[in-house]
Amino acid sequence: MGVSTATISNAFNRPDQLSAKLRERILRDAAKLGYHGPNLAARTLRRGESDVIGVILSDSLTYSFSDPVANQLLQGVSDVLVERNKHLLLLSSHVDSSEQRGAESLPDGFILYGTIDQATFERVKRTGKPMVLVDFESDEVASVNIDNEKGAYKIASHALAKGTHEVAVLGLKLIDFDRVCRLTQADLDIEYKEISRSRLKGFTRAAEENGCSFKPDSIWHIPINNTTNAEIAAREALTKIPRPNVLLCMSDVIALTAIRVARELGLSVPKDVTITGFDGIPESERSNPPLSTVCQQSIEKGKLATKMLLDGESREQVVLETKLELRGSTN
């Protein structure tokens, strides 16, 4: 009552600009009037800063919430955001772009996770706001990645170290097709920009070095990283003749499903078939037998990407080390 809007603004944002007594009175009166402090929309409009960070997921939101790897990333992201008093707006590149545009104007910066389609990527880039890519790369844009080829090579080398092997690969997003299927040589000749292709390279190199290379028809394409799809592929692979005794999987979800299917088929892991994963999700430690896998520290990835974004290191391209976690599903 009887103070200007400017003074009220100062009461909320710059305590040093007015007497403690007046500030207190204003805050008390505001509470009484049911005023909840500055309106974010107006404040953003005026300041050009919203304190909101947008995370753009390459998959649909609904799917992402069901994916343990995405969840770990988001854990890391939100950890840092909360610490820095920023808010989290979740977006998906799957959404109709005209609707998305509006939402993309709000955040102060973006984290883009996964293989983002060109249109979305360009659109976000044109906002001119800082951004950090995760599991995705582009010149001149900051990013956090792992060395997928190397990680895949390491675990495959371990699995194929001794003896002769019949190898099958349960691959994730290897081609642009929405059903589970095996590959052909033609599929592999088409370039496809997914990290899974790097993982395949690592598997292939390890196999060649160990004298047990595999043909395209021993490689399964799984379009979505969920149990349903993994189960179809695992069942096909494990009933194939000759039956593979090494199953190289491109995700832990796939590998855990494969372990279960193997048990259902009466196969012993790792005696009859060795199974490897990729990701290092929490569940991989707890399966029976526990899963040998490549840990990619998704939580750390989320934290690091968020820190890079907030600290304005918008040029660095970080490649994180993976860690081999050898457990009961191999050997």
Partner DNA sequence: TTGTAAGCGTTATCAA
Partner DNA sequence: TTGATAACGCTTACAA
- Pairwise CA distance, residues 276 & 329, whole Å: 7
CA 97 to chain centre: 21
Please give the size of the binding site for DNA, defined by CB under 7 A. 26
Counting contacts by CB under 7 A, is residue 101 touching DNA?
Answer: no
CB 308 within 8 A of CB 314: yes
Residues 5-24 that bind DNA (CB under 7 A): 5-10, 12-14, 17-19, 22
Counting contacts by CB under 8 A, is residue 30 touching a copy of itself?
Answer: no
Minimum gap (Å) between residue 290 Cβ and a copy of itself: 10
Counting contacts by CB under 7 A, is residue 62 touching DNA?
Answer: no
**Partner in contact with 3, chosen from DNA, a copy of itself, none, beta carbon below 5 to 8 Å by kind:** DNA
Counting contacts by CB under 8 A, is residue 82 touching a copy of itself?
Answer: yes
**Residue of 15, 37, 163, 312 that binds DNA (CB under 7 A):** 37
Ramachandran region of residue 140, left (φ > 0), alpha (ψ -120 to 50) or beta?
left
- Pairwise CA distance, residues 36 & 278, whole Å: 47
**Residue of 15, 22, 24, 39 that binds a copy of itself (CB under 8 A):** 39
Counting contacts by CB under 8 A, is residue 103 touching a copy of itself?
Answer: yes
Counting contacts by CB under 7 A, is residue 161 touching DNA?
Answer: no
- Pairwise CA distance, residues 198 & 203, whole Å: 9
Stretch near a copy of itself under the rule CB under 8 A, chosen from 80-88, 150-158, 192-200, 316-324 = 80-88
Closest by Cα among 282, 229, 281, 280 to 258: 229
Residue 82 burial class via C-beta count within 10 angstroms: exposed 0-12, middle 13-18, buried 19 and up: exposed
**Partner in contact with 19, chosen from a copy of itself, DNA, none, beta carbon below 5 to 8 Å by kind:** DNA
Q: In what order do the strands lie in the sheet with 181-182?
A: 181-182, 219-222, 167-172, 246-249, 274-276
Ramachandran region of residue 174, left (φ > 0), alpha (ψ -120 to 50) or beta?
alpha
Footprint of a copy of itself (CB under 8 A) = 34, 36-45, 50-52, 60-62, 65-66, 71-72, 74-75, 78-79, 81-82, 85, 87-92, 94-96, 98-99, 101-106, 123, 126-127, 227, 256-257, 260, 263, 282-283, 286, 288
